[in-house]
């Protein structure tokens, strides 16, 4: 019955959907910009090393109190990601990055409890760390992450604020074995009688509209990371976030995409056009899936400290809108939020800038299903905002359950975001490169419901294909908190 309901048109938007932006540690003009844009949420960096730099002193939340209060005064909800410990609370550094070290046993849990207690009644959701499967953000092992971050963090947050929702694991769908990190954490949390309240995920893979020459061996598309893994000439990629949840019987957990986006320098017309298409396709895909309710685009303004420009605007200085130069995607998102009912807008499908019915035609007069711009739907006889029903049965009923193949790690550094962010012992910016194993292809021998991994096996034809694969740029220079 659940599968039937997921496939019926018109039921995909029984709940409200939301858009947000990554804002790091924003000054008031950035919050003014977010309010004007029309998003509901901002994701911020609640850095442990800033709040508690000295051992023996209670955490000082003054910086974050101000950001959160200013955001809420503007009607914005705040989602903080709690990460990056001070040296006194961490194991010895092994890679030269000061703030990605493994927390000492018990310390992260205590800090999370302090955060939750301080913001009980103020915040509703709190996030655990950031992209721990990338060594630039967490230098420990998967088990250290589960023990010292996931289990301790959930216990600490629930102890400090029983009503707060724990959002995790904030894994990146590039890098090393993101699906096994999620799978192992889910299994061990079940053993502990614990669980995430919301699954948070980062996806930067693209769409065919932007990469029409894409071949299956050249890497994952967005849908492969989201809910249907890639199969390339019989070789299977890593499981998607949704497939791992299905495998663990946790399809009731909502999924938030808390980072996604595309770099686009303001002066590059083609890049800004692709950025707009990327945002449109992400929103369209979200509106098809009732289990994916929130998207936080990376990011609201360009980080002036790195070469790649991920923002929706260029911030020349304090003061909105005077110091801002907006990219085309800004007006698009603003319009979608104002018009699309599933996102709180007051218009309809025939004037929202989206391909709601999946026919590659958008709005009146281009879509023949629209008789006027005021029509609520692009296709006669359907419920507004329903979109094209996603083939949930492919994921939920026909999941093979095979285990993914190990791949090499990607290790970018961390930047603190726009000029609003303070300096300090944050991980340095690094120019990360996509690993040869980023595509996620590997042979999988039979079902692996037990979790056993099979080693990579590349027969000669497959090897020839992979030798020709074109490396895609995944967030080269994009860094986290």
Q: What is the tens place of the pLDDT at every residue in 136-154?
A: 999 999 999 999 999 999 9
Q: Is the pTM of this model over 0.75?
A: yes
Supply the pLDDT for residue 218.
84
Question: What are the backbone angles phi and psi of residue 95, rounded to the nearest 5°?
Answer: -130, 5
Supply the pLDDT for residue 148.
98
> pLDDT tens-digit profile of 289-298?
999 999 999 9
Confidence grade of residue 217 (pLDDT, cut at 50, 70, 90): confident
Residue 23 exposure: Cα atoms within 13 Å on the Cβ side: 30
Lowest mean pLDDT segment, chosen from 111-120, 237-246, 377-386: 377-386
Contact of 156 with 110, CB cutoff 8 Å = yes
In 3D, which of 346, 332, 338 has the Cα closest to residue 374? 346
Lowest mean pLDDT segment, chosen from 28-32, 331-335, 371-375: 371-375
Contact of 454 with 445, CB cutoff 8 Å = yes
* pLDDT surpassing 60 at residue 464: no
Contact of 356 with 349, CB cutoff 8 Å = yes
DSSP H or E run through 168: strand 165-172
> pLDDT tens-digit profile of 261-288?
999 999 999 999 999 999 999 999 999 9
Supply the pLDDT for residue 394.
44
Q: Give the 3-state secondary structure of residue 48.
A: helix
* pLDDT surpassing 90 at residue 14: no
Supply the pLDDT for residue 386.
53
Supply the pLDDT for residue 305.
87
Supply the pLDDT for residue 379.
85
- What structural domains and CATH numbers belong to the chain? 17-346+389-467 (3.20.20.80)
| Residue whose tokens read 């590039």 | 174
What residues are paired with 90 via a beta bridge? 103
> pLDDT tens-digit profile of 386-441?
555 554 434 444 343 333 333 322 222 333 334 333 333 333 333 233 332 333 33
Does 188 or 477 have the greater pLDDT score? 188
Mean pLDDT of the residues in the chain: 82
Supply the pLDDT for residue 304.
84
Q: Is 271 exposed, middle or buried (0-12, 13-18, 19+ CB in 10 A)?
A: middle
Supply the pLDDT for residue 385.
65
* pLDDT over 90, % of the chain: 72
> pLDDT tens-digit profile of 170-179?
999 987 689 9
> pLDDT tens-digit profile of 366-391?
999 999 999 999 986 666 665 555 54
Terminal-residue alpha carbon distance, the chain: 42
Question: What are the backbone angles phi and psi of residue 191, rounded to the nearest 5°?
Answer: -65, -30
* pLDDT surpassing 90 at residue 257: yes
DSSP H or E run through 335: helix 328-339
Average pLDDT over residues 467-474: 34
Lowest mean pLDDT segment, chosen from 2-11, 35-44, 423-432: 423-432
* pLDDT surpassing 70 at residue 65: yes
Most confident of the ranges 8-22, 126-140, 465-479: 126-140
Lowest mean pLDDT segment, chosen from 98-107, 122-131, 209-218, 339-348: 209-218
Average pLDDT over residues 299-326: 95
Contact of 362 with 353, CB cutoff 8 Å = yes
* pLDDT surpassing 90 at residue 134: yes
Sort residue 43 into left (φ over 0), alpha (ψ -120 to 50) or beta.
Answer: beta
CB atoms within 10 A of CB 3: 12
In 3D, which of 69, 71, 65, 66 has the Cα closest to residue 32? 71
In 3D, which of 407, 409, 401 has the Cα closest to residue 437? 407
Lowest mean pLDDT segment, chosen from 314-323, 336-345, 420-429: 420-429
């Amino acid at each position: 019955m659940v599968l039937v309901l997921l496939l019926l048109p018109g039921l995909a938007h029984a709940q409200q959907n939301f858009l947000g932006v990554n804002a790091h540690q924003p000054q008031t003009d950035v919050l003014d910009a977010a309010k004007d844009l029309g998003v509901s949420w901002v994701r911020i960096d609640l850095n442990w090393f800033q709040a508690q730099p000295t051992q023996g002193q209670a955490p000082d939340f003054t910086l974050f109190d101000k950001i959160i209060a200013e955001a809420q005064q503007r009607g914005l909800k705040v989602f903080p990601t709690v990460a990056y410990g001070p040296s006194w609370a961490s194991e010895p550094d092994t890679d030269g990055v000061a703030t990605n070290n493994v927390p000492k046993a018990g310390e992260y849990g205590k800090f999370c409890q302090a955060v939750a207690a301080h913001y009980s009644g103020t915040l509703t959701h709190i996030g655990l760390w950031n992209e721990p499967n990338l060594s630039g953000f967490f230098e420990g092992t998967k088990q250290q992450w589960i023990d010292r971050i996931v289990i301790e963090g959930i216990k600490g947050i629930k102890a400090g604020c029983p009503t707060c929702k724990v959002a995790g694991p904030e894994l990146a769908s590039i890098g090393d074995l993101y699906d096994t990190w999620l799978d192992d954490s889910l299994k061990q949390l079940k053993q502990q009688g614990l669980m995430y309240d919301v699954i948070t995920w980062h996806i930067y893979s693209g769409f065919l509209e932007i990469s029409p020459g894409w071949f299956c061996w050249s890497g994952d598309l967005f849908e492969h990371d989201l809910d249907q893994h890639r199969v390339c000439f019989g070789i299977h990629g890593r499981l998607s976030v949704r497939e791992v949840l299905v495998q663990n019987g946790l399809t009731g957990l909502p999924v938030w995409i808390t980072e996604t986006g595309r770099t686009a320098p303001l002066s590059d017309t083609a890049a800004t056009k692709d950025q707009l298409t990327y945002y449109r396709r992400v929103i369209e895909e979200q509106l098809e899936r009732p289990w994916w309710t929130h998207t936080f685009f990376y990011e609201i303004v360009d980080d002036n400290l790195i070469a790649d420009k991920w923002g929706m605007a260029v911030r020349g200085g304090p003061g909105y809108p005077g110091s801002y130069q907006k990219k085309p995607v800004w007006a698009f998102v603003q319009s979608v939020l104002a018009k699309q009912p599933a996102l709180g807008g007051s218009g309809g499908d025939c004037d929202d800038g989206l391909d709601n019915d999946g026919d590659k035609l958008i709005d009146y007069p281009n879509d023949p299903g629209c008789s006027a711009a005021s029509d609520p739907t692009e296709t006669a006889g359907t419920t507004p905002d329903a979109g094209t029903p996603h083939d949930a049965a492919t994921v939920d009923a026909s999941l093979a359950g095979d285990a993914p193949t190990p791949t090499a790690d990607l290790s970018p550094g961390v930047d603190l975001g726009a000029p609003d962010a303070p300096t300090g012992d944050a991980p340095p910016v690094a120019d990360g490169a996509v690993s040869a194993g980023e595509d996620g292809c590997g042979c999988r021998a039979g079902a692996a419901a037990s979790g056993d991994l099979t080693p990579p096996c590349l027969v000669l034809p497959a090897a020839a294909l992979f030798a020709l694969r074109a490396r895609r740029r995944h967030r080269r220079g994009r860094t986290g908190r």
